[in-house]
Every structure is written in C-alpha cells, then in structure tokens.
Amino acid sequence: MRIADELPSLMQAYLEWLAIHKRLSDKTCENYARDLTLLCRLAAQVQVTEPQRLAAYQIKHFVMQLHGQGHGPKSLARYLSCWRTWFEWLVKYHELPANPVEGVRAPKAPKNLPKALSVDDAVNLANHAARGDTAILKRDHAIIELLYSSGLRVSEIAGLDVSPPTATSENDQGTGWVDWSESEVHVLGKGSKPRIAPVGAPAMAALNAWQQARAAMPKSALTHALFINTQGKRLSVRSIQLRLAHHAKVLGLPVRVHPHMLRHSFATHILQSSGDLRAVQELLGHSSLSATQVYTGLDFQHLASVYDAAHPRAKKQTKD
C-alpha cells in the first residue's frame, strides 16, 4: 500500500495535481506524502480530524514540538515547505480563507564553520608539494603556500596575474596581481573591494620558483594569468580545489582539505598568536569586525572576559 493511500482525500488530490500539473517524480511525491502524513498525525494529537482546519498557532506549536524531539532545522524547513504549498493549493482551488503556515519559519541552522588545520598539518601540506621538481608541482606548491600565507580566497588565487594590468592587457585580464618587489598581492575581493595582502618568505620563494617554471611552459606568454594549466590557460577554481584535495589525500590528512580551510587556518593561527582581531579583519578583507569574529569561530564570551580584565572601566569598582 502506498503512503498516499492513507491520506485524506484532499491531500491525495493534491499529490495527483503535483504529479500531473507539476510533473514531479514518484519519489518526490512520496516525500510530500510522508510530510503530509506527519501533519495528519500532529493534527490528530490536538483532536483536529481535518488538517485543513489547522490554525497558525497550532502549526507553530508543531514546529516547536518537533524541534524539541530532535528534528533539525533542515528537516523542519522541509516539512513547512510541504505544508505551506498544500495550504496554498487549498487557498487557490478550494477556497480556504488563509494559509496558516504563511509566516511560520523553521529555526535557523547553525553555521558550520570550516575547520582549521593544525600548524604542523598546514606546513606539511605546503612542504609535500615542494618535494617535486615538475612545473605542475611547483605551481601547486606556490598555490598552497599563497593560500596559507596570505589567506586569499580561491577565486582571488585563480584571478591573479603575473603583473599589474596595462592598456594592452585586456585579453584574459585577471582580478589581481603580484607585486614581486614588495612581496605583496593586490586582489579584488567580495563586492569588488580591493586590498593588499602580504606574502611570507616561503610563499615568495615558491612563487619565484613557479614563475621560472611557468616561463618555460608552452603558450605561457599568451596569457597574463599567474597560475596556468598545461594548455597555457588560466587555472580554474575547480582545478585548484581538486589539486589541493589530491595533495592532502596523498599526504594522508584525516580531513578533506579545500582552499577555504587554508584561509580559515591562516586566520585562526594568526589570531591565536597575536590576538589581534582587527588585524585579521584587514588581512581577510572583511568589511565588518563581526564577520571576522564569526569566520574565525571566536568565542564572544572570551572577548568579554578579555575586555573585563583589561579595560579600567569594564568592571564595577569594588568598595574598600
């Protein structure tokens, strides 16, 4: 027996409408049927025999009840989406006065912050690529060093050119460039916000080694892109992600490493060493301090305790 066969007639009619008019797959309709079955079960618990007569306060109660039972934000959002569209159908085709799910929202899912590598793992990952002598390995080494040394986004890495833009460099022009003499990279971050990021000595050494290897590659003179593939074309974001994951896997790191993890490691390690949140904000190119605080996973209570211990007016004065 199908799940839908146990549902009230209005729900069965809705599922048939989805299959015919929306052309949803059998699997999708089955998932809708499960979520509608849940709504019927919850309605029965509050002595509502016709789910279409549920009120908004009851829907909110169901969400709180399910959340208390351990249903996650994503599951709750899916239930509400299904129930909302069913009630919308009733409003449109069966003269239901109002949609009781309208305006009801699931709890927000907590942000999953990217994990940081340990200092040893980050350094070992960079050193691993440095062991090879091929042009591709020199390129990968320079990319890994630059990700960890400067905290760049992977899109910023892919957009780097070997030199500043000129009037004749419109073709394949990137969004940033390397200042070789100053050991800096100029990038265009989110919101087209320019910033300059310092490059550490090991990363500059890797970049110089790659620059020499790049010059010997066929077709390298046809592009301004700093990081190129064997065909002489700008390396894509996806290619950088795959190469980084490959080196981490070969090294035997216990986690799947992606470029954002190295950016997070960069921020975390600097913050742990210096405690200077404002400096990390500037290095990452964040517009607000709160963005940096969330990005690094910094505990605000720790910040408050530091403030209480350091600021002369932070605490109430004790009476003598």
Residue type, 251: L
| CATH for the 3-93 domain, from 1.10.3470, 1.10.150, 1.10.760, 1.20.81 | 1.10.150
Direct distance between the N- and C-terminal alpha carbons of the chain, in angstroms, rounded to an integer: 80
pLDDT one-digit tens code per residue, 143-152: 999 999 898 9
Question: Among residues 303, 256, 241, 243, which one has the least CA distance to residue 277?
Answer: 303
93 is catalytic: no
22 is catalytic: no
CB 161 within 8 A of CB 112: no
| Active-site choice (234, 263, 264, 269) | 263
190 is catalytic: yes
Is pLDDT above 70 for 315? Answer: no
C-alpha distances in Å from residue 155, one per residue of 174, 229, 287: 10, 16, 18
| Active-site choice (2, 41, 190, 246) | 190
Residue 1 is predicted with a pLDDT of 42
| Active-site choice (153, 214, 234, 243) | 153
> Residue 164 has which token pair?
């500043």
302 is catalytic: no
CB 157 within 8 A of CB 143: yes
Domain boundaries along the sequence of the chain: 3-93, 119-300
What distance in Å separates the CA atoms of residue 16 and residue 38, rounded to the nearest whole number? 18
Q: Tell me the CATH number for domain 119-300.
A: 1.10.443.10
What is the reported pTM?
A: 0.60
Is pLDDT above 50 for 317? Answer: no
